[in-house]
Amino acid sequence: MGNSRNRRDFSLVLLLLLMAPNPGGSQIIKNKTLTIGGIFPMSGSWAGGEGCQPAVQMALSDVNNQTDILPEYKLEMDSDDSQCKPGLGTKVLYKLLYNKPTKLLVLCGCSIVSTFVAQAAKMWKLVVLSYGGSSPALSNRERFPTFFRTHPSGTLHNPIRLKVFKKFNWKRISTIQETQELFTSTIEDLEKRVKREGMDIVVRQSFLTDPTNAVRNLRRQDARIIVGVFYEDMARRVFCQAYKEKLYGKKYVWFIIGWYPDNWYKVKDDRHNCTVEQLEEALEGHFTTEAIILHQEPSMTEVGMTAQQFTERLDKMLNTSDTSLITGYPEAPLAYDAVWAMAFAFHKAAAKLEERGMKLEDFDYNNEEITDAIYSAMNSTKFLGISGNVAFTAKGDRIAWTQVEQFINGSYVKLGVYDAVADNLTWYNKEKWLGGRPPPDHTRVIDHLRVVSRTLYFSMCGLAAVGILAGLLCLLFNYSNRHRQCVAFSQPAINNLTVLGCMLCLGCIVLLGLDGKFVTEHQYPVVCQVRAWLLSLGFTLSYGSMFSKIWTVHQMTTSRKKDRTGVQVWELFVVLGMLVVLDIGVLTAWQVLDPLQRRLETFSRIQPTNTDEDIELRPQLELCHSENITVWLGVVFGYKGILLIFGIFLAYETRSVKLKQVNDSRFVGMSIYNVVVLCVITAPISLIISNQENATFAFVSLAIVLCSFLSMGLIFVPKIKEILQHPQRDGQEVKSLTDSLVSREEEERHQKMLYENEQLKKQIAEMEDRVKELNHKLQEKTQNLHTGVPVAESLECSAYNMGAPGSVQGWIIW
């Protein structure tokens, strides 16, 4: 308490002294010199020396002009350029250490140099004060025991970033960083904080020298809210790549470090190939976060100047019209205050040392007491400087407010300030969004159920309805013409079952197109099961009845039973019944053991074409599925396939059979051909295209419609035609349909008899020729009787030549 009052009194006195005019502008005589070392990055990743070195010079001159601060001592500085390279920075440190005079403290900037310098300096008991070291890693007292900085730590940006994320409800954050301890530790701190708030770092990318792949990966991984931490030179390359990858615009929000000079992207840089306009386009709308490092009030500070006066003096020193291109210009107040902090600390330490009979100039890199005195004086230093309230935490860190700005139309607009100590964010509501509103933190993925097109569905239902109606008419026709021979001899009961089967299959078309548009998730499994039953039983009834007919015809024509007289109807029903029982058995087992369920198949996301909203559609398709569906389909397709193959064989075998009792067997055979061909095409193709809802539905429905129409047509159209052509005929029907039993065997016998007949005719013709010849010879003999040739001898020869007595030839001759 007393300590803090002392500090306040000290500051007040100091302020009054500083503000008091130097009487008569008299020459201030300070006869002793204290030398400090200065390491300035004049080029490289952060060329902050450009803006900070003049500020340091200004501060040294201002301190030296004060009689009450270090009245005996004049501060001098030996400095060199580190190019923001740790190796060169260390070399400069050694040069400072090994060259006289002894340095009492080292001022440095740029985190990567500060880290090396601060780590080495402890060996020389040297206090290091950084005006431009933001690395959170520097807040490690064990590693850097003599380190202080006026530059706030990079982690100071994270609380305000978090506030903004929360404000706009962003929970999925992506990061991209240059691989430097400074940035890695900033991102690690951000990750911890983000997790604590229930958010997530979803993408983390880093790069060493080339950001191309890291930026590309951000795009690939759908990064939207991107925190980028890198030096200014890399920032230009990152945004050039972001421009090329189109990782900017209304869907993206970039958060970058705010300590670059305002026109940092306009600096000529050969390491990227984007124009300033392109960079400006990519940068539009990005956010920056930074510590507030310029006193915000117009009031006088404790270093005898207002912030405004400081800026004017610095601008004059820099002698440039555009300070927005000078790196280190924003940090210049930190450099200026660093010198003042050092001066106050030396002043305090000198007084303390004097009590112990020691002096600051006694320092020789071994004297721990002097280092401790400077260290504790620095620790307790507190004043209102150009950069605001200067004070150091136990870790040597600077405490400061932070601000967030947005790049709107080519310039930075302050959106809000955050006081981390009071946890208070003041927001000015000046943000602008390229899309008119804050973008979401990820692409909104909307599940999109792929359903059968309504037009297709209702068209197929219409066709199915026509088919069912046609089936009903066929049933009616069968009933009303049951006494006509062409109907009565066609096994009308079996034909009715064929029609019924076709109607069931046609009805199934309605169920095939029932999807999420019409039924709920819970109703869908029922639809699946009813579909399976209807289609399977419909097929068995229609095809099975045709099969049983053709089977019976085949049995009839190949039967060896002599007493077989006609078709037994019960035989037809037995065959069909067996098939139906088999079907019911398999379907029941399937239903009980492994019932069909609704399964959603998900496809790769697609971009909707009719909206420019940041959404993607995830297509999903409802499918009927059961655990062992392949086994069940194998069983069902297996026995139905065997039935189809067997059916086609029987149809071929009985292709020319005309059976009175089954007068339409040849049409049934043709119908079987059709069904087999359509099933053989449809079954595998529908399995292959099962993820194309419209194509599958159209294909299967058309196959059902074709099978049903052809089957009913082939069975009923000839009968209808016959009845229409001969409406009055009763009991006599078309010959082609009702011929008597003629089997292929009979046909063969008939052919054989014809052949034998031909052979006999030939033999008869030969015999007749022979008879003619003999008659001719006889006539000659008769004439010879009158000329003296013996008749008996002549007859004997002829008889011998004609064959044995009693043979056909012989019989004909005689």
Q: What is the 3-state secondary structure (H, E, C) of 123-137?
A: HHCCEEEEEECCCHH
Strands 382-385 and 388-391: antiparallel
Quick check: 288 binds ligand ABU (CB under 6 A)? no
Instruction: Report, in Å, the least distance between residue 364 CB and ligand ABU.
Output: 31
134 part of the interface to ligand ABU, by CB under 6 A: yes
Q: Report if residue 403 touches ligand ABU, rule: CB under 6 A.
A: no
Q: Is 177 in the site for ligand ABU (CB under 6 A)?
A: no
Does 135 bind ligand ABU (CB under 6 A)? Our answer is yes
The region of 131-139, 271-279, 695-703, 792-800 touching ligand ABU under the rule CB under 6 A is 131-139
Site string for ligand ABU, 246-275 (x = CB under 6 A): -------------x----------------
Residues in 469-488 at the binding interface with ligand ABU, rule: CB under 6 A: none
* Cα of 24 vs its chain's centroid, Å: 78
Q: Segment 325-354, which members bind ligand ABU (CB under 6 A)?
A: 331
Is 110 a binder of ligand ABU (CB under 6 A)? yes
Minimum Å distance from CB 291 to ligand ABU? 9
Task: Answer for the pair 544, 579: CB distance below 8 angstroms, yes or no.
Answer: yes
b (16+ CB within 10 A) / e for 294-307: ebeeeebbbbbbbb
89 binds ligand ABU, rule: CB under 6 A: no
Residues 89 and 45: beta-carbon distance below 8 Å:
no
Please report, in angstroms and rounded to a whole number, the separation of the first and last CA atoms in the chain. Answer: 167
Q: Least CB distance from residue 139 to ligand ABU, whole Å?
A: 12
Closest approach of ligand ABU to the CB of residue 326, in Å: 13
Please identify, using beta-carbon distances, which residue of 206 and 674 lies nearer to ligand ABU: 206
Structure tokens at 336: 């200026």
Alpha carbons 431 and 164: distance in angstroms, whole number: 11
Judged by CB under 6 A, does residue 133 bind ligand ABU?
yes
Under the binding rule (CB under 6 A), the answer on residue 132 touching ligand ABU is yes
Q: Which residue's entry shows tokens 């940006």?
A: 157
Of the pair 134, 536, the CB lying nearest ligand ABU is at 134
Structure tokens at 776: 């001719």
Given a contact cutoff of 8 angstroms between Cβ atoms, the answer to whether 477 and 717 are in contact is no
Could you tell me the two tokens for 297? 């009030």
Using CB under 6 A, which of the segments 132-140, 534-542, 655-663, 754-762 binds ligand ABU? 132-140
Q: Which stretch binds ligand ABU (CB under 6 A): 128-136, 698-706, 765-773, 800-808?
A: 128-136
Report whether 471 contacts 642 (CB < 8 A).
Answer: no
| Spatial contact of 524 and 516, defined as CB atoms under 8 Å apart | yes
Nearer to ligand ABU, 30 or 149 (CB): 149
* 182 near ligand ABU (CB under 6 A): yes
* Residue 617 DSSP code: E
How long is the chain? 814
Nearer to ligand ABU, 117 or 510 (CB): 117
Give residue 595's identity as a one-letter amino acid code: P
- Return the number of the residue (48 or 54) whose C-beta is nearest ligand ABU: 48
H-type alpha helices, 358-448: 368-379
**Cα–Cα distance, 344 to 230 (Å, whole number):** 34
Instruction: Output the smallest distance, CB 256 to ligand ABU, in A.
Output: 12
Q: Does 50 bind ligand ABU (CB under 6 A)?
A: no
CB of 182 vs ligand ABU, minimal distance in Å: 5
By CB under 6 A, residue 439 contacts ligand ABU:
no
CA torsion, points 668, 672, 673, 678, in degrees to nearest 10?
A: 140
Q: Which stretch binds ligand ABU (CB under 6 A): 127-135, 340-348, 529-537, 769-777?
A: 127-135
For ligand ABU, give the closer residue by CB, 64 or 387. Answer: 387
The answer to whether residue 734 forms part of the interface with ligand ABU (CB under 6 A) is no
203 in Cβ contact with 223 (< 8 Å)? yes
- Give the ranges where 665-692 is alpha helix by DSSP (H): 665-688
Query: Considering the rule CB under 6 A, would residue 111 count as an interface residue with ligand ABU?
Result: yes
Query: For ligand ABU, how many residues bind (rule: CB under 6 A)?
Result: 12
Is the CB of residue 508 less than 8 Å from the CB of residue 465? no
Stretch that binds ligand ABU, among 10-18, 130-138, 681-689, 701-709 (CB under 6 A): 130-138
Task: For residues 679 and 641, give the distance between their C-alpha atoms in angstroms, rounded to a whole number.
Answer: 9
Distance CA 110, CA 40 (A): 8
Of 608, 452, 595, nearest in space to 516 by CA = 452
For the record, the structure tokens of 542 come out as: 């229609």
To ligand ABU, the closest distance from the beta carbon of 198 in angstroms equals 30
Rounded least distance, CB 132 to ligand ABU, Å: 5
232 binds ligand ABU (CB under 6 A): no
Binding site for ligand ABU (CB under 6 A): 46, 48, 110-111, 132-135, 151, 182, 259, 331
